[in-house]
C-alpha cells in the first residue's frame, strides 16, 4: 500500500533565507504517514479507528528545499505488528521551472490505531503481505529495537528546563528557549488530541530559536534523532515546548526539546511529559555555506554530563556515516 501528497512551498513555509523550515517538512511527513496508516487500519470490517503517531526514527535533511519548489511526499507501509504500523516516507523536491528533482528527506514513523469510540483503546492492526519472508524478519527486528529505545527514553524524562538570570554567552542558559501553546481544535484529530505533525513543527521552531540564539546566524535543521511520543495531548491543554543546547561539534549543534502538557481544564490530571527529541542544526553563511559554530560552555555537572552524552551520539553517527561511505570490497 502506497500514498503520495504534493504541495508547493510558500513564503510562510520558509525562514528569512528562503529555506523551508524543517518543522514544515516534518508536518507533511506525518500527515502522509497518518493517512496511509489510518487507511490500512480501517481496511477490514471492524471497529473504526484513527492512527496516532507513537515515534519517528532518526530523520536526516539531505538537501534544503526552497520557496516555489513542490514537495512530493510518498509513504509506504513496510511492517505491521499486532498493535503498530511502520511507515517509510520519502520527500522529493521539484523545481517546477526546470523539472529537476532531488531527494530531501527519508523518515520512518510508527503509528498505533486508537478506537474512535474510546481513545484509550488500542486496536489490532490488519497484517500486511510481504513479498519476501526476510522483509517480515527485518521489520520485526526494527520493531523490537524501537520498542526498547522508547522504554529507555521514558526513564530519562524527569528533566525540566529552568530559566537562569543574566546568563553568559555560549552557555546552555543563554540560548535555552520555551514556547507556550494552547491546543485548539485546528491542532487536533477526530479524537480531540494533537496531531503528531503539529507537535513536531512546534518542537522544530523552538530548536531553531535555540540554535539561532547560540550562533546568531542563519540556521537550518540537519537531522532529527528519534522523536518519542510518550502520551497523548488533548484539546484544551496548555503545552510548553522547551529547548536547550546539549552539545556542539565544530559545525553542528545538538538541541534537546521537551514537550510538557498541562491539562488546565481537568484539575484531576497533573502536568506530564508528552514528547522528547534531539534536533541537530548547522550554521550557514548568507551564501549558504557551512560556518563554524561557537563552542558550548557547559557549567553544571548535569550540563557536562549531557554534553558528553551528546558527544557520544555525534561520534556514533559520524562513524556510521563513514562506514556507509566506505567502498564495498
Q: Using one digit for the tens of pLDDT, what is the confidence trace for 114-157?
A: 999 988 899 999 999 998 889 999 999 999 988 888 776 655 55
Last residue of a domain, one of 143, 158, 189: 143
Q: Which residue has the cell 481544535?
A: 185
Q: What pLDDT shows up at residue 317?
A: 87
Question: Is residue 136 located within the same domain as residue 186?
Answer: no
Range of the structural domain that residue 224 is part of: 170-322
Catalytic residue, from 204, 225, 228, 260: name it.
204
**How far is Cα 96 from Cα 98, in angstroms, rounded to an integer?**
6
The CA–CA distances, whole Å, from 328 to 117, 263, 320 equal 53, 54, 15
Q: What is the mean pLDDT of residues 237-241?
A: 96
Q: Is residue 157 part of a domain?
A: no
Rounded distance, CA 200 to CA 202, Å? 5
Question: Is 204 an active-site residue?
Answer: yes
Residue ending a domain, choose from 124, 143, 162: 143
161 occurs within a structural domain: no
Q: Are 25 and 9 in contact (CB under 8 A)?
A: no
d(CA 104, CA 102): 6
Q: Are 108 and 9 in the same domain?
A: yes
231 classed as catalytic: no
Q: Which residue has the higher pLDDT, 132 or 103?
A: 103
Is the separation of the CB atoms in 78 and 55 below 8 Å? no
What is the CATH classification number for the domain harbouring 70? Answer: 3.10.129.10
Residue 156 inside a domain? The answer is: no
Domain shared by 89 and 222, yes or no: no
Average pLDDT of the residues of the chain? 91
Check whether residue 195 and residue 136 sit in a common domain: no
Q: Is 245 within a domain?
A: yes
Is 103 found in the same domain as 194? no
Burial letters for 26-46: b for 16+ Cβ neighbours within 10 Å, e otherwise?
bbbbbbbbbebbbebbbeeee
Q: Model-level pTM?
A: 0.88
Note whether 118 and 175 are same-domain residues: no
Q: Do residue 103 and residue 176 come from a single domain?
A: no
With respect to residue 149, please indicate whether it lies within any of the assigned structural domains.
no
Domain identity same for 315 and 176: yes
Answer whether 110's CB lies under 8 Å from 52's CB: no
Chosen domain end from 128, 143, 158: 143
HSE (CB half, 13 Å, CA atoms) of 300? Answer: 9
Q: Closest by alpha carbon to 65, among 4, 7, 107, 3? A: 7
105 and 205 share one domain: no
Quick check: is 46 in a domain?
yes
Residues 177 and 316 in one domain: yes
pLDDT in tens, 17-65: 788 999 999 999 999 999 999 999 999 888 999 999 999 998 989 998 9
Q: In this structure, is residue 159 part of a structural domain?
A: no
Structural domains in the chain (count): 2
- In this prediction, residue 273 carries a pLDDT of 92
3-state secondary structure of 214: helix
Residue 283 backbone dihedrals phi, psi, to 5 degrees: -100, 135
Q: Same domain, yes or no, for 125 and 212?
A: no
Amino acid at each position: 500500500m502506497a500514498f503520495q501528497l504534493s504541495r508547493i512551498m510558500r513564503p510562510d513555509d520558509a525562514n528569512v533565507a528562503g529555506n523551508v523550515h524543517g518543522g514544515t517538512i516534518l508536518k507533511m511527513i506525518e500527515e502522509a504517514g497518518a493517512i496511509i496508516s489510518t487507511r490500512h487500519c480501517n481496511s477490514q470490517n471492524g471497529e473504526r479507528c484513527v492512527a496516532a503517531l507513537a515515534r519517528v526514527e532518526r530523520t536526516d535533511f539531505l538537501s534544503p528545499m526552497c520557496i516555489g519548489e513542490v514537495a512530493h511526499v510518498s509513504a509506504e507501509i513496510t511492517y505491521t505488528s499486532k498493535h503498530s504500523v511502520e511507515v517509510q516516507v520519502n520527500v522529493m523536491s521539484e523545481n517546477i521551472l526546470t523539472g529537476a528533482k532531488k531527494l530531501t528527506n527519508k523518515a520512518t514513523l510508527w503509528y498505533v490505531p486508537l478506537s474512535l469510540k474510546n481513545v484509550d483503546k488500542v486496536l489490532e492492526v490488519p497484517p500486511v503481505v510481504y513479498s519476501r519472508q526476510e522483509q517480515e524478519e527485518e521489520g520485526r527486528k526494527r520493531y523490537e529495537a524501537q520498542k526498547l529505545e522508547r522504554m529507555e527514553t521514558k526513564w530519562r524524562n524527569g528533566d525540566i528546563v529552568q530559566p537562569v538570570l543574566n546568563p553568559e554567552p555560549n552557555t546552555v542558559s543563554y540560548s535555552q528557549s520555551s514556547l507556550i501553546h494552547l491546543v485548539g481544535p485546528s491542532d487536533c484529530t477526530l479524537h480531540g488530541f494533537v496531531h503528531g505533525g503539529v507537535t513536531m513543527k512546534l518542537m522544530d521552531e523552538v530548536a531553531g530559536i535555540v540554535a539561532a540564539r547560540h550562533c546568531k546566524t542563519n540556521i537550518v535543521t540537519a537531522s532529527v534523532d528519534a522523536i518519542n511520543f510518550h502520551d497523548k495531548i488533548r484539546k484544551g491543554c496548555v503545552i510548553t515546548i522547551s529547548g536547550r543546547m546539549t552539545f556542539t561539534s565544530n559545525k553542528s549543534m545538538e538541541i534537546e526539546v521537551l514537550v510538557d502538557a498541562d491539562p488546565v481544564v481537568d484539575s484531576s490530571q497533573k502536568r506530564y511529559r508528552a514528547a522528547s527529541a534531539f534536533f541537530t542544526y548547522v550554521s550557514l553563511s548568507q551564501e549558504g555555506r557551512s560556518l563554524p559554530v561557537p563552542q558550548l560552555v557547559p557549567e553544571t555537572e548535569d550540563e557536562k554530563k549531557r554534553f558528553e552524552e551528546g558527544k557520544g551520539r555525534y561520534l556514533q553517527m559520524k562513524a556510521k556515516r563513514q562506514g556507509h561511505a566506505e567502498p564495498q570490497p
